[in-house]
Protein backbone atom coordinates (compact mmCIF):
# COMPACT_ATOMS: atom_id res chain seq x y z
CA UNK A 1 0.00 0.00 0.00
CA UNK A 2 1.49 3.40 -0.99
CA UNK A 3 2.36 5.94 1.70
CA UNK A 4 0.12 8.98 2.25
CA UNK A 5 2.76 11.23 0.67
CA UNK A 6 2.84 9.09 -2.48
CA UNK A 7 -0.96 9.12 -2.71
CA UNK A 8 -0.95 12.90 -2.34
CA UNK A 9 1.73 13.21 -5.03
CA UNK A 10 -0.32 11.05 -7.41
CA UNK A 11 -3.39 13.23 -6.79
CA UNK A 12 -1.39 16.42 -7.37
CA UNK A 13 0.20 14.98 -10.54
CA UNK A 14 -3.27 14.08 -11.82
CA UNK A 15 -4.57 17.61 -11.11
CA UNK A 16 -1.51 19.22 -12.73
CA UNK A 17 -1.96 17.01 -15.82
CA UNK A 18 -5.64 17.99 -16.03
CA UNK A 19 -4.50 21.64 -16.00
CA UNK A 20 -2.02 21.01 -18.84
CA UNK A 21 1.21 20.55 -16.86
CA UNK A 22 3.66 17.69 -17.42
CA UNK A 23 4.92 16.40 -14.05
CA UNK A 24 8.54 15.15 -13.95
CA UNK A 25 11.00 14.00 -11.32
CA UNK A 26 14.00 16.28 -10.72
CA UNK A 27 16.41 13.47 -11.76
CA UNK A 28 14.62 13.09 -15.11
CA UNK A 29 14.21 16.82 -15.83
CA UNK A 30 13.53 17.65 -19.49
CA UNK A 31 12.38 21.26 -19.95
CA UNK A 32 11.95 20.67 -23.69
CA UNK A 33 9.21 18.07 -23.07
CA UNK A 34 6.45 20.69 -23.18
CA UNK A 35 5.48 24.29 -22.51
CA UNK A 36 4.49 23.65 -18.87
CA UNK A 37 6.67 21.43 -16.68
CA UNK A 38 6.07 20.68 -13.00
CA UNK A 39 9.26 19.32 -11.41
CA UNK A 40 8.74 17.19 -8.27
CA UNK A 41 10.91 17.65 -5.15
CA UNK A 42 13.14 20.33 -6.64
CA UNK A 43 16.15 21.14 -4.39
CA UNK A 44 16.33 24.76 -3.20
CA UNK A 45 18.70 26.49 -0.78
CA UNK A 46 15.97 26.32 1.88
CA UNK A 47 15.09 22.66 1.28
CA UNK A 48 13.09 20.78 -1.31
CA UNK A 49 10.12 22.39 -3.02
CA UNK A 50 7.28 19.95 -3.57
CA UNK A 51 6.92 21.26 -7.12
CA UNK A 52 8.73 23.89 -9.18
CA UNK A 53 6.66 25.10 -12.14
CA UNK A 54 8.33 26.01 -15.42
CA UNK A 55 6.55 27.74 -18.29
CA UNK A 56 8.50 27.96 -21.55
CA UNK A 57 11.73 27.11 -19.71
CA UNK A 58 11.34 29.80 -17.01
CA UNK A 59 10.48 29.24 -13.35
CA UNK A 60 7.12 30.81 -12.60
CA UNK A 61 6.13 29.30 -9.24
CA UNK A 62 7.07 27.13 -6.29
CA UNK A 63 4.32 24.86 -4.99
CA UNK A 64 4.34 23.55 -1.43
CA UNK A 65 1.72 20.86 -0.92
CA UNK A 66 0.30 20.73 2.59
CA UNK A 67 -1.88 17.94 3.93
CA UNK A 68 -5.50 18.67 4.65
CA UNK A 69 -6.62 17.97 8.18
CA UNK A 70 -8.90 15.08 8.92
CA UNK A 71 -12.60 15.70 8.32
CA UNK A 72 -13.28 15.73 12.07
CA UNK A 73 -10.53 18.32 12.60
CA UNK A 74 -11.88 20.45 9.74
CA UNK A 75 -15.39 20.28 11.21
CA UNK A 76 -14.01 21.30 14.63
CA UNK A 77 -12.20 24.29 13.09
CA UNK A 78 -15.31 25.36 11.18
CA UNK A 79 -17.41 25.06 14.35
CA UNK A 80 -14.90 27.19 16.30
CA UNK A 81 -14.81 29.84 13.56
CA UNK A 82 -18.63 29.89 13.50
CA UNK A 83 -18.72 30.23 17.30
CA UNK A 84 -16.27 33.14 17.25
CA UNK A 85 -18.15 34.86 14.43
CA UNK A 86 -21.42 34.55 16.35
CA UNK A 87 -19.74 36.05 19.44
CA UNK A 88 -18.47 38.93 17.27
CA UNK A 89 -21.95 39.40 15.77
CA UNK A 90 -23.50 39.49 19.25
CA UNK A 91 -20.92 42.04 20.40
CA UNK A 92 -21.63 44.18 17.34
CA UNK A 93 -25.37 44.07 18.09
CA UNK A 94 -24.74 45.07 21.72
CA UNK A 95 -22.55 47.98 20.60
CA UNK A 96 -25.24 49.17 18.16
CA UNK A 97 -27.88 49.04 20.93
CA UNK A 98 -25.57 50.87 23.34
CA UNK A 99 -24.93 53.60 20.76
CA UNK A 100 -28.67 54.01 20.16
CA UNK A 101 -29.30 54.19 23.92
CA UNK A 102 -26.49 56.74 24.34
CA UNK A 103 -28.03 58.91 21.62
CA UNK A 104 -31.45 58.75 23.35
CA UNK A 105 -29.89 59.57 26.74
CA UNK A 106 -28.00 62.51 25.24
CA UNK A 107 -31.22 63.90 23.81
CA UNK A 108 -33.00 63.43 27.16
CA UNK A 109 -30.19 65.19 29.04
CA UNK A 110 -30.17 68.10 26.59
CA UNK A 111 -33.96 68.37 26.84
CA UNK A 112 -33.84 68.47 30.65
CA UNK A 113 -31.02 71.00 30.55
CA UNK A 114 -33.01 73.32 28.29
CA UNK A 115 -36.11 72.86 30.46
CA UNK A 116 -34.06 73.81 33.51
CA UNK A 117 -34.60 70.43 35.17
CA UNK A 118 -31.03 69.15 35.04
CA UNK A 119 -29.70 71.06 38.09
CA UNK A 120 -31.50 72.79 40.96
CA UNK A 121 -32.70 76.24 39.91
CA UNK A 122 -31.76 79.47 41.68
CA UNK A 123 -34.79 81.77 41.84
CA UNK A 124 -32.48 84.81 41.66
CA UNK A 125 -31.21 83.77 38.20
CA UNK A 126 -32.58 85.71 35.28
CA UNK A 127 -34.92 83.80 32.98
CA UNK A 128 -33.44 82.47 29.75
CA UNK A 129 -35.63 84.83 27.71
CA UNK A 130 -34.02 87.84 29.43
CA UNK A 131 -30.50 86.50 28.84
CA UNK A 132 -31.36 85.86 25.20
CA UNK A 133 -32.68 89.41 24.82
CA UNK A 134 -29.44 90.77 26.29
CA UNK A 135 -27.35 88.63 23.95
CA UNK A 136 -29.38 89.75 20.92
CA UNK A 137 -29.17 93.40 22.03
CA UNK A 138 -25.38 93.14 21.97
CA UNK A 139 -24.76 93.72 25.65
CA UNK A 140 -20.97 93.92 26.19
CA UNK A 141 -18.43 91.65 27.83
CA UNK A 142 -19.12 93.29 31.22
CA UNK A 143 -22.33 91.31 31.50
CA UNK A 144 -20.51 88.07 30.72
CA UNK A 145 -17.84 88.85 33.32
CA UNK A 146 -20.52 89.80 35.83
CA UNK A 147 -22.42 86.59 35.15
CA UNK A 148 -19.28 84.46 35.61
CA UNK A 149 -18.37 86.33 38.79
CA UNK A 150 -21.88 85.87 40.12
CA UNK A 151 -21.71 82.15 39.38
CA UNK A 152 -18.40 81.85 41.22
CA UNK A 153 -19.84 83.65 44.26
CA UNK A 154 -22.69 81.17 44.33
CA UNK A 155 -20.25 78.25 43.99
CA UNK A 156 -21.64 77.15 40.64
CA UNK A 157 -18.67 77.07 38.32
CA UNK A 158 -18.34 74.77 35.32
CA UNK A 159 -16.44 72.23 37.38
CA UNK A 160 -19.30 71.95 39.89
CA UNK A 161 -22.14 72.17 37.36
Q: How confident is the model at residue 150 (pLDDT cuts 50, 70, 90)?
A: low
pLDDT of residue 3: 74
**In the chain, where the domains are located:** 4-63, 70-118, 120-161
- Would the CA dihedral through 64, 68, 74, 78 be positive or negative? positive
User: What tens digit of pLDDT does each residue of 35-89 get?
Assistant: 899 988 888 888 888 888 999 888 898 888 776 778 888 889 899 999 999 999 9
3-state secondary structure 104-118: HHHHHHHHHHHHCCC
Q: What is the pTM of this model?
A: 0.39
Amino acid sequence: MPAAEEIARQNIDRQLAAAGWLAQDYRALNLAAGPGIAVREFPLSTGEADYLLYADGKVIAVVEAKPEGHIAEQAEIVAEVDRRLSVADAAETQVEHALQRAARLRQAILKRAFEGKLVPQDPTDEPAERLLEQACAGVGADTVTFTKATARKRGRTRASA
